[in-house]
Homo-oligomer: A and B are copies of this chain.
Amino acid sequence: MIPDELAIIDRYFRPLAGKGAFGLRDDAAALAIPADQELVVTTDMIARGVHFLDDPADTIAQKALRVNLSDLAGKGATPLGYVLSVALPPDVDAAWLEAFADGLRKDQRRFGLELLGGDTIVVPDRLLISVTAFGTVPKGRMVHRSGGQPGDELYITGMIGASGAGLAVLKNEPGPWSHFSKRERDFLVACYQVPEPRTALAPALIKFATAAMDVSDGLVGDCDKLAAGSRCSAVIEAERVPLPPGLAGSRDAELIARLLTAGEDFEVLAAVRSEKAARFIDAAKRVDVPVTRIGTLIEGTDLTKLVFEGIPLSLSQRAFVHGRVGTAK
């Protein structure tokens, strides 16, 4: 038995509300944006069985928020607030809601944003969460996918493939992780369940990147998008791409291709002019965000060339396609 909407809002969501939300006691939020800033808006919806499995409620909340924060980060935006809509099935109980709100609370504090409003509905079946997140950038300074130029160096934050490997672990799919220790497998699962949005890097992206985006549908496919947005092509040197512990250093072309096209990395891919690269790396270091050079934008309109020590790698797919009916659960 789940409490009704008003009781849920009172008990779990009202304590999370920010100033512009009027205690969730009105029908809308008000947001005043400083005159020299503009608002950056992004929205993502996640559903059980598609974007998460039977994960703990707090990590589901964190994932719902963080996939949006990752978009903001890739655009150079500083988080401000979010609205949250949840479709709750009957198996959701008070303990679940408590943990869900707790996940939101932790991340609001960590990433400096507030709940501004929302909607709670009851559905007979599938748990589903929709977040629209707001951030700010100095006026006209949002970092786009366009703007990259041939010769720009390509950087990636963190590592690639950990989330995809984590999903494979959860789904008991065979792979090198089958022989990993529990601790190593737990690490991969945590990467899938709770991505690490690179919000701290936003100011450096505004200052030094010609183009950027967050990687959510696989590195190679998203690199295609950034290059296309910038009317360029790209080369990724696969041996440079940081892979998760236990998989790093692999020379298994099939595995590397799989990790570089797996989805949900939620890392930032950025193009930086060579003359600014040292300062970009330095700025990233100052905010503790690991960045690695993985390739280069080049002239042309071809899809991204993926090479390993100079040898082209072939790919069975370029991007991770989510939620084909029945893929998960």
Contacts and interface: CB of A to CB of B under 8 A. Distances in A.
Interface residues of A, number: 68
Contacts of A50: 121-123
A256 interface: no
A120 to B, nearest CB: 8
A44 B119 contact: yes
A142 B39 contact: no
Nearest to A72: B28
A222 to B, nearest CB: 10
Given A28-B142, A41-B83, A322 B121 contact: yes
A26 B147 CA distance: 12
A25 B145 CA distance: 8
B42 A29 contact: yes
A43 interface: yes
A45 B325 contact: no
A75 B30 CA distance: 10
A122 B325 contact: yes
**Most chain-B Cβ atoms within 10 A of its Cβ — which of A40, A72, A137, A145?**
A40
Contacts of A128: 87, 123, 128
B121 A123 contact: no
A184 interface: no
A88 to B, nearest CB: 9
A49 interface: yes
Contact of A38 (B32, B89, B214): B32
Contacts of A130: 43, 45, 85, 119, 130
Contacts of A44: 85, 119
Given A33-B33, A122-B323, A229 B26 contact: yes
A311 interface: no
A214 B84 CA distance: 20
B28 A145 contact: no
Interface in A100-136: 116-119, 121-126, 128, 130, 132, 134-135
Nearest to A86: B45
Interface of A: 4-5, 22, 25-33, 35, 38-47, 49-51, 71-72, 74-75, 77, 83-87, 89-90, 116-119, 121-126, 128, 130, 132, 134-135, 137, 139, 142, 144-146, 213-214, 229, 321-326
Given A27-B213, A28-B135, A125-B126, 17 more contacts: A25-B145, A25-B229, A26-B75, A29-B40, A30-B38, A31-B39, A41-B117, A43-B84, A45-B87, A89-B325, A121-B323, A122-B323, A122-B325, A123-B126, A123-B325, A124-B326, A132-B132
12 contacts: A28-B142, A31-B38, A31-B41, A32-B139, A42-B117, A43-B85, A45-B130, A50-B123, A122-B323, A123-B323, A125-B126, A128-B128
